[in-house]
A and B are shown apart, each in its own frame.
Chain A
Amino acid sequence: MTSAEYERERAEVEKTWAEKPGWLGQLMVVNHRTVALRYLVTTFVFFLLAGLMAAAMRLQLARADNDLIGPDLYNQLFSMHGSVMMFLFAVPVLEAMGIYLVPLMVGARNIAFPRLNAFSYWVFLFGGLMIFIAFALDIGPEAGWFSYVPLAGPEFSPGKRQDFWAQLITFTELSALIVSVEIIVTAFKLRTPGMTLKRIPLFVWAQVATAFMVLFAMPAVMLGSSFLISDRLVGTHFFNPAEGGDALLWQHLFWFFGHPEVYIIFVPALGIVSEIVAAFTRRAVFGYLPVVLSLLATAILSFGLWVHHMFTTGLPPAGMSFFTAASLLIAIPTGVQIFCWIATFATGGRLRFHTPLLFVVGFFFIFIIGGLTGVMVASATLDSQFHDSYFVVAHLHYVLIGGALFPLVGGIYYWFPKMTGRMLSERAGRWQFWLFFIGFNVTFFPMHILGIEGMTRRIYTYSASSGWEGLNQLATGGALMIAASVVVLIANIISSLRKARTAGDNPWDAPGLEWATSSPPPPSNFVRPLVVTSRTPLWVTPHPETVIGLPTGIRSVLVTRVHDAEPHHISVFPTPSIWPFLSAIAVTILFIGSIFTPWALVWGAVPVAIGLIGWFWPTKEETATHCKYEVKPPREAPPPSEPAELRL
């Protein structure tokens, strides 16, 4: 094949996969990278807003008996902070990394179900906008991100504040469930030939484990939030103990989701750590199999721990012991991964201390503390002291910021060149790291002590006689350092974006397939599917073999078999469409309407139905293409996409 042929093919593929121009085109985007970048920017904005809320709370707590912020606003602030950080930042931002990277890493041209993917983003965006607008209108949630009933129930939370919270859950969980399905299908069916199960990148494994957790955990909280809103709106009695309901039912439903939620946030971050460690030690992570099994074990075990959030509710002792044991058990797979990474450091090549690795090392220092305090709160006996105190605030931030945010920021520094074609400043990166690392510890380490000294969570003020003022001032000081570090990050991103695209395809000399294409990648990611023969393909062959023969005039994607990634058939992927956007608007109308009237479920279904009908309305041409490539032929005839036609 001549290079001219290749160039023609490239041009054709690029034309086929190009998005539509114009502002309408912007609303029709189905490319996973564009959607992922939108997710990233949106979640980052939500992160900034929730961070400002945290800063406001820290200012209020800086002094004893401070009256900067009253209880009404404070309660909304911490409820928003928790809900936004969990539902609108931590989960979606890591899913966004998955949406961006999983197809690239498995060598696919797009994520599975791209229109659904676009739909998930719009639903997520509208849900996020809804809650922030509600907050701006004084309808922000006020019963915490956990919304315990009866406080969040109809009697004790009048008005619509909690209903908006419940619908926020519905919005975000809907989008999270959609993304999980896409990631699972992408990782299982769209892997490039040769990428057998044993060659799947660790980040993809982490995303798959996470996606399965989402599939099993999120329905519990969606059920819970639906129960809550129906208790509030139509007067059901799910949580009314007088009429046979139970306030603890909410806690069970919530934490059956809420505990896996922590791992949903933290497992993908482990995947990031593995990728960065491998890249900067110049070797594949030691112990691929144990690490993968640990990820899967974490995903499974995470469903057996939820009761450790309820140790002080007076549950039977046998139950408490079971959940203590289970909670301790989950430390084992995490420990194994940490040991494997240390072994990787110990046996890898010479370390290149770039910012991404700096954040990963910071992850070790912080996350291990969070893990160890996790062991402490897993003890039912000790938890009776730690529960709902600032000790837990410290613990959870050590786990979530240490365990997820540090790797995430590292990952941003690591993949920024791929996403934008530009490098972030190393110098600013170091500044940011040290500000963040020190600020973080100054903010949150004292909280362990405050918790032991009796400072409880979610208090908007404390008395001078409590003796908590000094450490609280320290924590506020630390919070300002964190804020400064975030400013440095923003400045770094902005200034980098103004520079030229000089990063090149593989600035870190990393082994993954995402580095085998240009930065940023072309609309189809790869002109031709690559063929993989190793866990570290680019280190083995910097220019892997490609699959040819895929039709170029249609959005053809090679579908492979789950276990051995042998090509199976060609799937025709959908083109840009406005219907996901319109359907998302219809769903938004239904969800927001049902805050005010149950009839919204009835009349709101009409626009949703219209949206879906438009979305799935078949055209003759499409049907013909699909039939040609996707309908399984009768056994006797050879399938059209047999390897015979593909030259590897």
Chain B
Amino acid sequence: MCGFIKDKTPKAVARRKRIVLTSFAILLASVVLLPLGGYLYSGLSAQAAAEEQTNPRANYWRAVRQGNTGYTAVMGQETNTLIQNGGQNWRQWRNGPVANISPWFLALVLLSLGLLFLLRGTMKIEGTLSGRTVTRYNVAERVIHWYVAILFIILTITGLSLLFGRAVLIPILGYSGFSDWANFSILLHNYLGPFFTVGVVLAVIAWIKDNIPTATDWQWFKEGVGGILAKGKHPHAERFNAGEKVFVFWLGLIVLGAIVSITGFMLIGWIGEQMRATMQLVNVIHAVASIVWIGIICGHIYLGLATEGALQGMTRGQVSEEWAKQHHDLWYKQAKKG
């Protein structure tokens, strides 16, 4: 194993990278797919068992169990469905993979960031500070950022409370204590959600022009993910570097923003009357997407804090010229010119 790693020929390095990547992919796929095997198995065996029955009425009841609808005098949501099976599946997804894997994912993110900090420490501004600054974010941009940021944090805390509070907070707060908190959380979460979406839309409008991918971005990734992993490297970057563009803007604000917002609206009943089956799916998507987003934002926050001088851009709107040159050289040139 050790010898294997010591082999530093480019071919061997490439091969090792491939192996690591492939196993990583397989691993990921297994995480997602393996639990499904159980459903497949139980589904098949149930079908086999059903076929063994000869009672003609059994077919009738099987149809009922599969959610056939009928008539009922009671008005309301899906009251004409005798049995819905989706609920069990949703329960197993939510209490199974979603509830089991996402904490690990978040833990992994935090752990990774922690490790990164241990290994890399703060990313200092190289050289001495001249005291000259350039304007990085105007007032409007900063207001938007903090508006979205604060709502994001509130929604994260309240959302995670609802997902994990039963396991984590009830032992701490007790049943009624947690219930009060959860009641407050759901109220806050549901009411602030739409405001958050407004913020996301504003943020997209504010920054979309600086997030159009360019050839520079590809280069940025190639050079050790913008030098985060490799010390001392500072690849070219525009106003936003490729990492910010891809993770924070495109994946975060655009993709996850849309997913989380739309599913959120569905969950609070703003997009028509949905069937339970839809709501179950939407609930899982909302949770998974949100957690992925939270992971990304953790990284975003980490980099904002761990990169010396970055935070000032969002607090005072000004960054030192040295910082700008170091992290966003192309933008700096542009800014100087303009």
| A and B physically associate | no
Chain A contacts to B: CB under 8 angstroms: none
Chain B contacts to A: CB under 8 angstroms: none
